[in-house]
């Protein structure tokens, strides 16, 4: 479970995340929506302990995230914005490194690697260097490293960015498949994605939480398409 209370983040005097409170329960997939620069990535960076909030608190599995608590990171799988990875490594070496450092048990490492390779169809690129992979493969290796240790908490920043429609479909099915016993937050620009995989939709703009309900409620909250509703909700902020 993830509990966020009154979260604030300021960079050089500019408020990026403004009094954000959210709770995501086990079994839920929260779609995190918002225009570029809304504070989605910043919030995710704070949840995963990469940056510290200016004020407010974040609890993961009843652990308070302060001073980048070491214990709690074991339960988290994280795909950072842009899926950064060590380009000079091969897919296999990279996944092996992550599995080891994530504390996957020795006799389980091969199984975990095999399972993410098959889940994300990485068979053709196992021994290729990551820097030589296409954008779609890179993103999928990024997702693979986030789920390799079967984390209870999964945070993914735009997991389907750069994927073709078939790959997007596969990744959505994968998220649905693994979501039962996990707490998942997925940020996206693609509104249909929220309908397809998420059990909840949260919209933020300029750091403020503007909507938090089911995707169906989002659809029913206005007339017209999801895009229109999104525009309606996000364009009014701060003006």
Dihedral, CA of residue 111, residue 112, residue 117 and residue 118, to nearest 10: 60
* Number of amino acids touching other proteins (CB under 8 A): 32
Q: Which of 3, 28, 57, 93 binds other proteins (CB under 8 A)?
A: 93
The β-bridge relationship of strands 29-33 and 183-188 is parallel
Judged by CB under 8 A, which stretch of 57-65, 71-79, 219-227, 229-237 contacts other proteins? 71-79
d(CA 67, CA 181): 27
Would you say 49 or 215 has its CB closer to other proteins?
Answer: 49
Q: Quick one: which segment of 75-83, 133-141, 180-188, 204-212 binds other proteins (CB under 8 A)?
A: 75-83
The residues near 46 (Cβ < 8 Å, ≥ 6 apart) are 7, 9, 17, 52, 53, 58, 65
Task: Tell me the closest approach of the beta carbon of residue 207 to other proteins, in angstroms.
Answer: 16
Instruction: Tell me the closest approach of the beta carbon of residue 235 to other proteins, in angstroms.
Output: 28
Residues 122-151 that bind other proteins (CB under 8 A): 129, 145
Binding mask 171-190 for other proteins (x = CB under 8 A): --------------------
Q: Are 60 and 1 in contact (CB under 8 A)?
A: yes
Are 46 and 72 in contact by the 8 Å Cβ rule? The answer is no
Q: Which helix (H) or strand (E) holds 217?
A: helix 215-220
Quote the tokens at residue 51.
């940056």
Binding mask 9-38 for other proteins (x = CB under 8 A): --x---------------------------
The verdict on 50 binding other proteins (CB under 8 A) reads yes
Q: Which is nearer to other proteins, 101 or 180 (CB)?
A: 101
Which of 80, 78, 109, 76 lies closest to 95 in space, CA to CA? Answer: 109
């Amino acid at each position: 479970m993830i509990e966020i209370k009154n979260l604030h983040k300021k960079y050089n005097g500019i408020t990026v995340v403004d009094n954000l409170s959210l709770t995501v329960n086990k079994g839920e997939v929260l779609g995190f929506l918002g225009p570029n620069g809304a504070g989605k990535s910043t919030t995710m960076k704070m949840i995963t302990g990469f940056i510290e909030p200016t004020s407010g608190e974040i609890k993961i599995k009843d652990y308070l995230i302060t001073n980048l608590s070491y214990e709690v990171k074991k339960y988290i799988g994280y795909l950072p914005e842009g899926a950064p990875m060590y380009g000079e490594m091969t897919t296999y070496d990279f996944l092996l490194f992550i599995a080891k450092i994530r504390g996957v048990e020795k006799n389980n490492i091969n199984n975990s690697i095999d399972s993410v390779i098959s889940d994300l169809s990485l068979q053709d690129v196992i021994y290729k260097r990551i820097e030589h992979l296409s954008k779609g493969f890179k993103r999928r290796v990024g997702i693979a490293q986030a789920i390799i240790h079967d984390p209870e908490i999964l945070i993914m920043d735009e997991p389907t960015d750069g994927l073709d429609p078939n790959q997007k479909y596969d990744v959505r099915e994968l998220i649905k498949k693994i979501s039962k016993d996990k707490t998942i937050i997925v940020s996206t620009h693609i509104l249909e994605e929220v309908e397809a995989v998420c059990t909840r939709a949260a919209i933020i703009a300029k750091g403020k939480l503007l909507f938090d309900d089911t995707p169906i409620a989002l659809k029913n909250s206005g007339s017209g398409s999801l895009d229109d509703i999104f525009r309606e909700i996000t364009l009014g902020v701060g003006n």
